[in-house]
Structures are given as C-alpha cells and as structure tokens.
A and B are shown apart, each in its own frame.
Chain A
Amino acid sequence: MKKLSARRRHPLAALVVLIFALAATGGLYAVLAPAGEAKADASAQSLAIEEGQKLYAVGCSSCHGSGGQGTSDGPTLVGVGAAAVDFQVATGRMPLQQPGPQAPVKPNIYTQAEIDQLAAYVASLGPGPAVPEPSQYNPAEGNSAKGGELFRTNCSGCHNFTGQGGALTHGKIAPNLHDVDPKQIYQAMLTGPANMPSFPDGVMPEQEKKDIIAWLEATNSEAAPSLGGFSLGGYGPVSEGLFAWTFGIGSLVAAAVWVGARTAKARKS
C-alpha cells in the first residue's frame, strides 16, 4: 500500500486510474445490463444488416444509390421489402448485367446466406413484405380449381391461360411459369417485380395465392401430366390452328393426291 501511495503522483497514475474506472464501469454494465434473447437476435440482425450493407455497396449501389435511395439507373429500394430482394437475387435477375428492357433470369452468384443479409439490409431501409414462410406457399394446401379461376382473372392476360408467358411492349416479356419455385411465384405476386403489378394480401389473400400456386403446380410443371399428349406449347388457338392447317390439312391434301395418282402399271406386253 505504501508502494502504491508512493507512486500516486507518477505521471501515468491518472491513466491507470482511468483504465480501472472504465474497466469497472464496463464490467458492471456487462453484469447488470438485461442480456436477453431479444438482444442476441437484435445483434445477429444488426450483423446481417451490416454484412448486407457491404454486399449492397459492392453489387447494388451503383444503380440503386449508396443508401437505396435510387438513381436515374435504378429505382429506390426503400420499402420494397425482403421478399423483393430474395426474389430478384435468387432468380439471378439482380444484380443487372447490363441495362435493357427487362432483367433476364441468369445464374445466381450469391449464397442463400448472402441473399438473406442483402434482404435484411434492404428491409432495414423501410417496411415492406417479408420473405414468406414455406407454409404460406405450400401447393398441397391450395385448391387448384379455384386457383385456375383466379389465374384466368388476374394472371392470364400477360402469362397466357396456361402460364406459358407472352410478349409485352418494347421488348418486355411476361415469363413462362413452367416449374418456377412456388416461393418465387408467391414473392412475385406479393412484390410485383419489374413491370408486373403486385397483388397484395388486401386484394388477393394468402390462401388465394396458394390456390394459384397449386393450379400452376398441377398444370404447368414437370410433374404435371400432359393429358392430351402433344400440347404444341400450350399457346392457344393460333399455334394450334397453324399446326392443323399446315400439317393436318397438308397431309390430307397429300393423301388425296396420292389416292388419285397413277397406280402402278404392269409392264407393257
């Protein structure tokens, strides 16, 4: 004690006291502060947002702005929600490779964990639809007959009445829905990617989205049987008529010509 007291006027004494005081304060806080589950989640969430922000700065900020505010090259991401990010990045539509009428589907270069971080960051910019849970888009829980009616009312204008897709204006297209992941169909209906209008739960409840997914699963997927054989692409009366008139009537004409043609003759005797 004498030793300590002797050095109380040492030039570094104040510093040592300060370090002890800080350590004590910090230690007391760590012990006494309410450290619950919520805090652990929040820190994991903030970590994901932090990581997502780094990914965002590299992959997205050149078009969507450093804070997601949007630029002349890309729309604002404030309020689009995690579901929109999950859809756009998981399908490879974003980040955009080059400007064009519409972002094409291409191989996705992010892991699901990175997509989740990006989604967490963009979701932190403003409230928007969250990534749906598997129970929300499970096709087994949908009524495919009702889904067919809903699809024809809401979707068939652009996506064709069997979901084959179709052309829009100025090079934009409505994609073919063959074998699209139910989660992505759900997210597309919820968020309205690119020029597709959205179908929020207020006008198309979750169960109806599930019905539509069940109908697509039953009619336009690898697992769906083709009851009639050749579907000719399912494009409707134009392609079917073209096929019938060129190949069907053509082969009938050829058969008629053959029936009336010269028959094989015996050699002249």
Chain B
Amino acid sequence: MSSHTESHNEVPDRLSSQEREEGAVIVAEDPFADPGMPPHEHRIQDIDERAAKRSERTVALLFVVSMLATVGFIVSYALIPIDQITYIWPFGDVSALNFALGSTLGTALFCLGAGAVHWSRTLMSDVELVGERHPVEASPEVKAQVLEDFAKGAEESQIGRRTLVRRTLYGALALVPLSGLVLLRDLGPAPGDKLFHTAWEPGSLLINENTMQPLRPEDITTGSLTHAMPEGLDFHDHDFHAQIAKAAIMLVRIEPEDIKDQQSADWGHEGILAYSKICTHIGCPAVLYEQQTHHALCPCHQSTFDLADGARVLFGPAGHPLPQLRITVNDDGFLEALGDFEEPPGPSFWERG
C-alpha cells in the first residue's frame, strides 16, 4: 500500500509538463479548435499520505461491516423463529426474521459495494487516458497478404482438384440445417378446433365453485352472483387450468321483465343466466358484477357488458359479447347445460372471425 501511494506522490511532477503542453494548445485561426485535455487535478489522497491512509481505513471498515452483517444474517437465520412478529418503526408489526435477514443481507451487499466504490474514487488511479481511434480499413499490404494466404490455403487443401471431397462437403453442409427445421415441429401441433370447444357438454351439471356441489335454480336468488364450472373437472387434473380457462362461467338471476334480449332469456332458466366470465378482449375475468345495473365490468381495461341484454358490450375494447351458455333444469332439479357455448369464449383469434 505504501509503495502504491508513493507512486501517486510522484505523479504530479511526471505529468505536469505534459498537462501544460496539452492545455496550452491554441489555434487562433479556428474558432472551434480542440481545447485538448483539461489539466489533471489531484485528489487529496494523491498528495497526502495521511489522507490516503484514512481512505484505506474507511474502505477496510466498510468491508468489515459487510463481514459482520453476513455473520449477522447467518445468526438471524439460525436463531429467530419464523413466526415471531415484532413492532419496528416505521414499518409496523413485521416478521422479525424477514426484517433481520433483509437488513443484514442488504447491509452486507451495500457495504461491499460502497467499499469498492470508495476505494476506486479515492485510491485507484484517476488519471485521464486518451485512446486514439484508428482507421477501420486494413492497409493494402495486409489485404494482399490475407488474399495470398487464402489462395495458398485453397491450393494446399486441394479442394479444387478433389471433386469428390468438395461435392460431399457441399452436400453435408446443405443437410445439417435440416435438423433445425425438423425441431420446429415441436412448435405445434396447431390448436386445431380446441379454441372453439370447452368442457361443457349437453347434460353437464353446473358445479358451484365454492361448495363443489351441483347447483339448483332455487340456490340462485335475484341479485346474487355465483361462479360455476362444468361437472367432471377436478382441480388435480393436469389440464384443469387449460379447461377452466375456457369453461369458467358466472351465474346471475335477473327479474324476467328486466331482461331485454329474448334469446338471452330463452337460453336461461327463469331469469338465471349463465355467461362465460372470460373477457372477450384479452381474457381477464370480467366478474365485477353490479347487481342493480346488471353490468359486468372487466377490471383490466374496463370493458362493460350488459348481462340483461345478452352481455352486449357497452363500453371498452372488448369486441364481442360474453358468450352465453344455454341451461335448463334436469329431472332431478339440478341446473344443467344444454350444450357447449355457441361461440368460442375468450379473446378473439384469427380463425374466429
């Protein structure tokens, strides 16, 4: 360390003549002349060994704090119970373990970085260096040499004479990329008509998502909102999310005289209407149902659907009404679907039109 700072102490004398030369360049004819480099100014640490020692100690202190914080992290992890809640101003009641781990790890990383920054700002050399640019083009001699070497290499490899080698090489090079093309097959298979069909089938019972029991019409009162899914879906199925993403519905009951769309009323049962809850814009759940206005709002882009009027789009970027599921009551008194949605639920796609 001492030799390092000593060399810094020599720097002023070594550089001063060069600096003065650069700083003194004046071309009177050119008003936009390059002023050259400003004279280098030295830091206190460059000329005062005691200041340099102080900086060294500061950097070392930061590194030691970082070490202690890391030890603190390990100790906190070992000693603090995971469910201990402590009041810490100004955060309020927080998990003591989370707080200790975060603050010690944060201190360790911060002090490591701060030490490195302080080191570079006060002790490492800060002399300005000039890197001159060179022309990009190679010199004619180098170009001639490269071309000559290439021609010589081609000659020595006998690629011009050995036609069998040349042609099989071309063939091999041409075939190699086919491996990549074959792998593109994994991008498929194309969805086919999957987007047009959901898990709803004729006779599917409507399962209440809260209780997982089939719904009866008398469960659904006017002004209520019920989330339902087709029977046969199980949360543990590997494709459950793929299925529910298309099949999820919401059930509302609207007084029959308030339903403006006759087809919508006919597709329901005594005012119980089953709509897909997947927004036709980009597929958020449009379940912000206002029971007095019968509007369903999508939280993502505020598309608003009038559930009393066939889920007509009142506002927002959605391009289609929410598809309605045709429902009826079976002989046992449970609600059941009469079939799949007439239109594919969810956002538009190319083939949907």
Interface residues of A (CB under 8 A from B): 75, 150, 153-154, 157-158, 166, 168-169, 172, 174, 192, 194-200, 202-205, 208, 225-230, 259, 263-266, 268-269
Given contacts A157-B299, A263-B126, contact A229 B210 (CB under 8 A): no
Minimum CB–CB distance from A142 to chain B (whole Å) comes to: 14
Minimum CB–CB distance from A1 to chain B (whole Å) comes to: 73
In-complex Cβ contact of B293 among A195, A198, A200 (8 A)? A195
Kindly name the residue among B117, B219, B225 whose own CB sees the greatest number of chain A CB atoms within 10 A.
B225
Minimum CB–CB distance from A155 to chain B (whole Å) comes to: 10
Looking across the interface, which residue of chain A has its beta carbon closest to that of B284?
A157
Cβ contact within 8 Å between B291 and A204 = no
A-B contact pairs, 26 of them (CB 8 A): A153-B209, A157-B288, A169-B290, A169-B297, A192-B223, A192-B224, A195-B292, A195-B293, A198-B224, A199-B224, A203-B219, A203-B220, A203-B224, A208-B210, A226-B91, A226-B94, A227-B94, A229-B88, A229-B94, A229-B99, A259-B120, A259-B121, A266-B41, A266-B42, A266-B43, A266-B48
* B275 interfacial contact with A, CB 8 Å: no
CB 8 Å contact bits of B92-122 with A (1 = contact, 0 = none) = 1111001100100000000000000100111
CA distance A168 to B227 in the complex (A): 19
* B34 interfacial contact with A, CB 8 Å: no
Residues of A within 8 A of B287 (CB): 157
Given contacts A195-B293, A266-B47, contact A153 B227 (CB under 8 A): yes
Looking across the interface, which residue of chain B has its beta carbon closest to that of A258?
B117
Interface residues on B, range: 35 or more
Cβ contact within 8 Å between A269 and B47 = yes
Cβ contact within 8 Å between B43 and A168 = no
In-complex Cβ contact of B93 among A169, A225, A263 (8 A)? A225
Looking across the interface, which residue of chain B has its beta carbon closest to that of A200?
B221
List the 4 shortest-distance A-B pairs measured between CB atoms, nearest first: A202-B219, A197-B225, A195-B290, A157-B287
CA distance A210 to B224 in the complex (A): 18
Cβ contact within 8 Å between A266 and B46 = yes
Residues of B within 8 A of A263 (CB): 43, 121-122, 126
Minimum CB–CB distance from B113 to chain A (whole Å) comes to: 9
B251-302 contacts to A, CB under 8 A, are 252, 285, 287-293, 295, 297, 299, 302
Given contacts A195-B293, A263-B121, A263-B122, contact A225 B41 (CB under 8 A): no
Given contacts A195-B291, A265-B43, contact A157 B285 (CB under 8 A): yes
Looking across the interface, which residue of chain A has its beta carbon closest to that of B44?
A266
Residues of B within 8 A of A199 (CB): 224-225
CA distance A75 to B304 in the complex (A): 23
Kindly name the residue among A166, A200, A268 whose own CB sees the greatest number of chain B CB atoms within 10 A.
A200
CB 8 Å contact bits of B33-53 with A (1 = contact, 0 = none) = 000000001111011100000
CA distance A265 to B40 in the complex (A): 10
CA distance A80 to B91 in the complex (A): 43
Cβ contact within 8 Å between B91 and A230 = yes
Residues of B within 8 A of A150 (CB): 210
* B59 interfacial contact with A, CB 8 Å: no
CA distance A174 to B48 in the complex (A): 67
Minimum CB–CB distance from A39 to chain B (whole Å) comes to: 34
Cβ contact within 8 Å between A203 and B215 = yes
Residues of B within 8 A of A202 (CB): 216, 218-221
Residues of B within 8 A of A266 (CB): 41-44, 46-48
